[in-house]
């Protein structure tokens, strides 16, 4: 995020002749200076995807007027679209249970402003990290989750998220399954890190499953949460090598390194508006 | 295989105090000079695995006498064991259908003697590669496989394998499922390359499955063939990155690069007696 | 290369407002259907790079007319540019010495038409691969290189290249240093695979250098050849893990696997017009 | 570190027949139960390396007596050796400047006891991380370094290290070059993370050097510090892919992810006594 202030136009629409031309003509007409420009044509679904960064100071108007002016072209092209402003930091809620690695990693990145976002709250079903979170000046909410009454907990969580005016919810090894209703309430806004190379080893204890199957690499998957457990659109994945000498405990330890890296990469793509949904898949303009 | 002639002792047995000590004492007593020595203790099953290379010229006797002398200790330690001689090249039968990449790769390695083995026959259900195989001086056998009568084909294949006195059968993208009976006949001797990162995408068209699921890495798996399709012990795996811009055809092309490399690595481990079976898993002393 | 026939426009020019707009407007005006579209703005040098694929059958005219029409806009934008036609296969000359791995790999890819190009000649200072090359129906030229008189050899090589009307020369582990004059004659057209992760281990015996330094990964680098040895623009690189147990011979063997993969990737990028030179660096639109 | 208490015997000696046999016979004689056992024979220098873990509760005596008993055999075999006790946590001093990523990463691992060690002090030439370090209950020492008088600073640092009775000093992106004298005082005990894939890009601003050269992967190197800058024995390395679209700032950000992972791996190998020096190289028994 070293760049001067810029606007990010993200859009998808049915493919046809002249899409780039019309969009970039609109921007050029207003003297917009392009930074990154990325396009993707999906041959099978005949759908077009784009992401364009425009320097804010090259345009005569601000982001609201940009949105206003662009709307009619977008409608004409039948676009799903949004325009983000790099000066408006995204607001992130982090949810965590008892493992520290993803949380510390996000705190370090937040502290150095790597993600151009604010962590506006941390929610946990445990007390372990209350101290370190609050030391960083971030509100910490302890919300216990009772198996018999998840509803109460997730009502409380929803209120915290909404009160914090959060854009994005990150499950940083949060070990509770989200109710379907909660998932549906924040579509494309809840990001999870699953500790396997999906679709292998869905569900509980994937590292134990990996150990039992005798795989030679383990992985982690950052994905959007949907009502279908571990089946949401994948944003990012990576793997790390193990071998026969690694016990489950070793696999867990190796896994932590890959989990936090994959989560951070996926989250960055999301926060920088690099991820476009396409059915149950993603277009990621890295 | 740059080393002077050596013997490779491979063994597994119930764990107890003193196993390495007794095995290496036996070798030292005969003035055996150790090259590589690898050991693994499985905590859970309390089973011990080892692989030891001894320079042939350091021992007063040859490989047969080595086997003879070692047998009583092996019996005492309740070992599964074998001793290989690097001067006896392993004999490999390659089976292939219509894709060239694994076959060419194996031919190149055979030609430069990288694998310290002989390709004693190539068997195919197609004629595509008869020319290049025979040009290399390797017998080529065309064995068509009829869906209605696989038995006849695999009887013929078994005869070719046995006549060639083959140690190992390599399925180098051979696109027929082997009958259970055939698998059972050559346990731990048939090596397959599956074009997915198992256990993801078992069965047919794994690259299409990967495309549909929207994964961000694809993989390949080299494994021993058992009666359960794609469920045999895994020897080696690797992955390669793809993204939204890759069509199925691109994924197939990327996949070929990883398939041939993974197959070659797994085959080398097998031929160099680096792989020990442990239930449905492998110990690989690289 | 699964796509229907298409034209690839590759261009770079000084950056300014409206470049994409004007280029894509030109294409849209002629009803051109875009497949891949890639752009890159270099902030520091204020230079703009692009690569656009247009379906051939979407345009009313052929490639010559496309070039003709585009020329005036290109001149106005001060572009370096070219338009390639996927129906015209690139013509490749492969040069090789005594190692087989890159050559076999290229033959396999050529055989399956993966690279959408013709290998129009193989040139070697040895006879090792004459048989297998000629078996594939490719002309083989033995050109010995005398240390005392390289000029004669490279005059002969130049004549073969020119007679074959070659676009690209691939040094597939060709172990002779090219004279500066020869390099200058084919700028941006000679591709080498160097067996180290440049800029580490320039020059002779890089694997021995790697062994001596005790690095934990070794690499390979595919680059354009320039007069400065091993200093040309890098197209592609990759690495593979080694450890203390690997002797130089093992490192060489591991290296071969990475060399052929990196060369094939770099060559594909080049042949598909995905590589644009930018000073001594490359823009690679993968 | 899931294992019950164990002793780790680490040794190297001139190679000869019978080394493993004699060492393991000694252990077996005392009923020692082996966990991991690793051996390496260096063919060129005819030197033998080993690392053996013995369960503490399998031996009739404690670690001091183990050392006492083993000493005579070690002397006879001309060994460099040591025996570590997993119950004695290693004592680590972390030195850091103004970048947070390696420090936070080490704090997270320390907090979850992943490294089986204590961080007994953090030393910095800046105040940035005083708060977070002290919040964790770890002593923080601010030692400014004046270009004109480094001696004073490093005298102070030496006193802190010695007072803390530290085994290991970790330079976690500490941006001061250590005086030769200081390096010589703690041989094999100072671990640095260099932000390049050594031996490429020695010295200052390696990411800028990488950007200028146009490499396609960047790396990080964890190594022992010696008097020769960036030339000490390499413990661990890894790389990450970049491309033409990455500015220096992006490369720096990618680099941070690989730096902290490589440092953590290298440090773990060191703290678990998995690293043996061999001239200017390392044997790492992972």
Token reading at A135: 């030391």
A2:D247 CB<8 A: yes
Q: Which residues of C are catalytic?
A: 230
Domain contains C171? yes
Whether C1 has a pLDDT exceeding 50, the answer reads no
pLDDT of D2 above 80: no
Helix, strand, or coil (residue A58) = helix
Taking an 8 Å cut-off on Cβ atoms, the answer to whether A105 and D105 are in contact is yes
Report how far residue A47's alpha carbon sits from residue A40's, in angstroms, rounded to the nearest whole number.
8
Residues of D in contact with C223 (CB under 8 A): none
Closest CA to D285 of C265, B155, A243, B91: A243
Whether the pLDDT of residue A229 is over 90: the answer is: no
Question: CA C51, CA C31: separation in Å to the nearest integer?
Answer: 18
Report chain D's mean pLDDT, rounded to a whole number. Answer: 96
Query: Chain A contacts of D245, Cβ < 8 Å?
Result: 36
Measured distance CA(C44)–CA(B208) in Å, rounded: 42
Identify whether residues D115 and D210 lie together within a single domain. Answer: yes
Residues of A identified as active-site: 230
Q: What are the contacts of A135-142 at 24+ separation with CB within 8 A?
A: A135/D131, A135/D132, A135/D135, A136/A107, A136/A110, A136/A111, A136/D132, A139/A164
| Interval A94-103 mean pLDDT | 97
**Domain match, D274 and D201 both:** yes
Closest CA of chain B from C108, distance in Å: 6
b or e along C152-180 (b: 16 or more beta carbons within 10 Å of the residue's beta carbon)?
A: ebbeebeebbeebebbbbbbbbbebebbe
Q: Per-residue pLDDT for B175 more than 90?
A: yes
Least confident of B61-70, C197-206, D210-219: C197-206
The model's confidence at residue D204, banded by pLDDT at 50, 70 and 90, is confident
Query: Which pair of tokens denotes residue A197?
Result: 């190379």
Asked whether residue A1 is assigned to any structural domain, the reply reads no
Partners of residue B91 on adjacent β-strands: B118
Tally Cβ neighbours within 10 Å of residue B96.
Answer: 26
**C182 domain-assigned:** yes
| Cβ pair A197:B217 closer than 8 A | yes
Q: Which of D139, D96, D110, D130 is nearest to A135 (CA)?
A: D130
Task: Specify whether A111 is located in the same domain as A63.
Answer: no
User: Which of C24, C54, C85 is a domain's end point?
Assistant: C85
User: Mean per-residue pLDDT for A99-106?
Assistant: 97
- Any domain includes D69: yes
DSSP state of A25: H
- Answer yes or no: do C14 and C127 share one domain: no
* Helical segments of D136-247, H only: 150-163, 180-185, 206-213
User: Using a CB-CB distance cutoff of 8 angstroms, which residues of chain D are in contact with residue B27?
Assistant: 21
Q: What is this structure's pTM?
A: 0.97
For residue range A154-173, list pLDDT tens digits in order: 999 999 999 999 999 999 99
Judge whether residue C269 has pLDDT over 90.
Answer: yes
Task: List the structure tokens of A213.
Answer: 């199957």
Do C239 and D239 count as a contact with CB atoms less than 8 A apart? Answer: yes
CA distance A218 to A197: 7
Residue B250 backbone class (left: φ over 0; alpha: ψ -120 to 50; beta: rest): alpha
CA distance D183 to chain B (A): 35
Tally of CB atoms within 10 A around A241: 12
Q: For A138, which DSSP code?
A: -
Looking at C40, C58, C85, the residue that finishes a domain is C85
- Under the banding of pLDDT at 50, 70 and 90, the label for residue B2 is low
What's the CA gap between C220 and C216, in Å, rounded? 14
Over residues D227-255, mean pLDDT: 95
Partners of D107 on chain A (C-beta within 8 Å) are 104
Environment class of A279 (CB within 10 Å of its CB; exposed 0-12, middle 13-18, buried 19+): exposed
Could you give the CA distance from residue C285 to residue D244 in angstroms, rounded to a whole number? 9
CA separation for the pair C261, C222 (Å, rounded): 10
Torsion of CA D114, D115, D121, D123, to 10 degrees: -100
Instruction: Find how far residue B69's CA is from the centre of its chain.
Output: 28
Interface touch B214/A233, C-beta < 8 Å: yes
Domain boundary among A64, A85, A106: A85
Quick one: pLDDT at residue A204? 87
Closest to A24 measured CA to CA, from A15, A36, A32: A32
Q: For D179-202, what is the mean pLDDT?
A: 95
Q: How many residues does chain D have?
A: 286
Exposed e or buried b for every residue in D244-276, given b needs 16+ CB within 10 A?
Answer: bbbebebbbbbbbbbbbbbbbbbbbbbbbbbbb
What's the rounded mean pLDDT across residues C179-193? 96
In a domain, D59, yes or no: yes
Whether residue C43 is predicted with pLDDT greater than 70 in this model: the reply is yes
Chains touching A (at least 3 CB pairs under 8 A) are: B, C, D
Q: What is the dihedral of CA B53, B56, B59, B64, to 10 degrees?
A: 90
Q: Is C34 close to A20, i.e. CB distance below 8 A?
A: yes
Read off the pLDDT of each residue in B167-193 and give the average, rounded to a whole number: 96
**pLDDT for A74 beyond 80:** yes
| Residue B127 distance to chain C (closest CA, Å) | 15
Structure token pair of residue B69: 């002398």
Total domains present in chain B? 2
Of residues A198, C283, D218, the one with CA closest to residue B209: A198
CATH number for the domain harbouring residue B72:
3.30.70.260
The percentage of residues in chain B with a pLDDT greater than 90, rounded to a whole number, is 96
Positive or negative, the Cα torsion across B196, B199, B201, B204? Answer: positive
Q: Are residues B37 and D39 in contact, defined by beta-carbon separation less than 8 angstroms?
A: yes
Q: Is the pLDDT of residue B229 over 90?
A: no
Distances (CA, A) of A218 to A149, A193, B173, B213: 34, 14, 24, 18
A108 in the same domain as A42? no
Q: Which domain holds residue C10?
A: 6-85
DSSP string, D230-285: T-SPEEEEEEEE--TT--HHHHHHHHHHHHHHHHHHHHHHHHTT-EEEETTEEEE-
Same domain assignment for residues B166 and B219: yes
Question: Do D62 and D190 lie in a common domain?
Answer: no
Catalytic residue among D230, D238, D243, D273: D230
Given a contact cutoff of 8 angstroms between Cβ atoms, the answer to whether A94 and A174 are in contact is no
Domain CATH for A260: 3.40.50.170
For residue B57, what are the CA distances in angstroms to B32, B37, B231, C249, D147? 8, 17, 41, 21, 61
Query: What pLDDT does D1 receive?
Result: 47
Q: What's the angle, vertex CA B30, arms to CA B27 and CA B36, rounded to 5?
A: 35
What residue of A is the nearest CA neighbor of D99?
A112
SS3 content of chain B, % helix, strand, coil (to 5): 35, 30, 35
Mean pLDDT of C106-123: 96
With beta carbons under 8 A apart, name residues in chain A contacting C22: 28
Domain assignment of residue B1, yes or no: no
Candidates A99, A104, A108, A130: best to mutate against D (most CBs of D within 10 A) is A108
Distance CA B220, CA C22 (A): 44
Cβ atoms of C31 and C54 within 8 Å: the answer is no
Banded pLDDT at C2 (limits 50, 70, 90): low
Q: Which of C1, C16, C17, C42 to mutate to test the interface with A (most CBs of A within 10 A)?
A: C17
Q: Does residue D229 carry a pLDDT above 90?
A: no
The residue-averaged pLDDT of C16-33 equals 97
A39 vs B150: CA distance, rounded Å: 49
Q: How far apart are CA A241 and CA A243, in angstroms?
A: 7
Q: Are residues A210 and A120 in the same domain?
A: yes
Average pLDDT over residues B188-210: 94
Contact A199 B200 (CB under 8 A): yes
Whether residue D66 contacts residue D83, with contact meaning beta carbons closer than 8 Å, is answered with: yes
How do residues D114-171 score in pLDDT, each as one tens digit? 999 999 999 999 999 999 999 999 999 999 999 899 999 999 999 999 999 999 999 9
Interface contact A217-B233, CB threshold 8 A: no
Give A203's pLDDT tier (boundaries 50, 70, 90).
confident
Q: Spell out which chain D residues touch chain A, with contact meaning CB-CB distance below 8 angstroms.
A: 2, 36, 99-101, 104-105, 107-108, 111-112, 114, 131-132, 135-136, 245, 247, 249, 253, 256-257, 261, 264
Residues B239-251 have a mean pLDDT of 96
Contact assignment for C108 to B104 by CB distance below 8 Å: yes
Structure tokens that stand for C163 in this block:
């007679």
Angle D135-D140-D144 from CA coordinates, rounded to 5° = 140
DSSP state of A33: P
Choose among A22, A28, A41: nearest Cβ to C35. A41
Taking 90 as the threshold, does the pLDDT of residue C33 lie above it? yes
What tens digit of pLDDT does each residue of D25-54 get? 999 999 999 999 999 999 999 999 999 999
User: Residue A3's pLDDT is what?
Assistant: 77
Considering the domain architecture, whether residues D149 and D45 belong to the same structural domain is answered as no
Q: Average model confidence (pLDDT) for chain B?
A: 96
Across the interface, which of A17, A24, A32 has its CB nearest the CB of C32? A17
Whether A188 is covered by a domain: the verdict is yes
DSSP at B219:
E
pLDDT above 70: residue A1: no
Give the integer Cα–Cα distance in Å for D163 and A189: 51
Nearest CB to D18 within list B28, B37, B41:
B28
Token pair belonging to B187: 């346990």
Whether residue D156 is found in the same domain as residue D21: no
Name chain B contacts of A247, Cβ cutoff 8 Å.
43
- b/e for B110-147, b at 16 or more Cβ within 10 A? bbeebbebbbbbbbbbeeebeebbeebebebbebebee
CB within 8 Å of B147: residues ≥ 6 apart: none
Q: Are residues D167 and D107 located together in one domain of the fold? A: yes
For residues B127 and B68, state if they share a domain.
no
Residue appearing with tokens 């892919």: D241
Pair of tokens at residue D1:
């570190």
Residues of A in contact with B284 (CB under 8 A): 216, 243-244
Contact between chains at C35 and A18 (C-beta distance less than 8 A):
no
Band (D203; pLDDT cuts 50, 70, 90): confident
Summarize pLDDT for B123-146 with one digit per residue, the tens: 999 999 999 999 999 999 999 999
| Residue A106 resides in a domain | yes
CA nearest to C85, candidates C2, C5, C188: C5
- The pLDDT tens digits of the residues spanning D57-75 come to 999 999 999 999 999 999 9
Per-residue pLDDT, averaged over A120-141, amounts to 98
pLDDT at D221 exceeding the cut of 60? yes
- What gap in Å lies between CA B285 and CA B274, rounded to an integer? 5
Q: Quick one: B184 exposed, middle or buried, by C-beta within 10 A (0-12, 13-18, 19+)?
A: exposed
Flag whether pLDDT at B173 surpasses 50: yes
């Amino acid at each position: 995020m070293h760049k001067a202030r810029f606007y990010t136009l993200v859009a998808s629409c049915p493919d046809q002749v002249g899409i780039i031309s019309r969009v970039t003509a609109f921007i050029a007409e207003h003297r917009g200076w392009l930074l990154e420009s990325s396009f993707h044509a999906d041959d099978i679904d005949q759908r077009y995807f784009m992401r364009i960064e425009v320097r804010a100071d090259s345009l005569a108007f601000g982001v609201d007027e940009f949105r206003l002016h662009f709307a009619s072209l977008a409608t004409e092209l039948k676009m799903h679209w949004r325009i983000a402003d790099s000066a408006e930091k995204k607001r992130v809620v982090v949810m965590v249970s008892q493992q520290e690695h993803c949380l510390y990693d996000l705190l370090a990145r937040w502290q150095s402003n790597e993600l151009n976002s604010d962590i506006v709250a941390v929610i946990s079903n445990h007390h372990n990290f209350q101290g370190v979170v609050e030391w960083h000046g971030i509100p910490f909410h302890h919300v216990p989750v009772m198996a018999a009454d998840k509803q109460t907990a997730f009502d409380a969580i929803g209120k915290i998220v909404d009160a914090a005016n959060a854009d994005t919810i990150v499950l940083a090894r949060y070990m509770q399954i989200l109710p379907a209703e909660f998932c549906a309430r924040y579509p494309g806004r809840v990001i999870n890190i699953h500790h396997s190379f999906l679709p292998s080893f869905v569900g509980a204890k994937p590292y134990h499953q990996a150990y039992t199957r005798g795989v030679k690499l383990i992985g982690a998957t950052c994905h959007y949460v949907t009502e279908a457990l571990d089946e949401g659109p994948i944003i990012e994945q990576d793997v790390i090598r193990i071998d026969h000498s690694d016990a489950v405990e070793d696999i867990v330890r190796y896994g932590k390194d890959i989990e936090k890296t994959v989560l951070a990469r996926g989250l960055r793509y999301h926060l920088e508006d690099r991820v476009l949904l396409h059915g149950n898949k993603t277009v990621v303009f890295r």
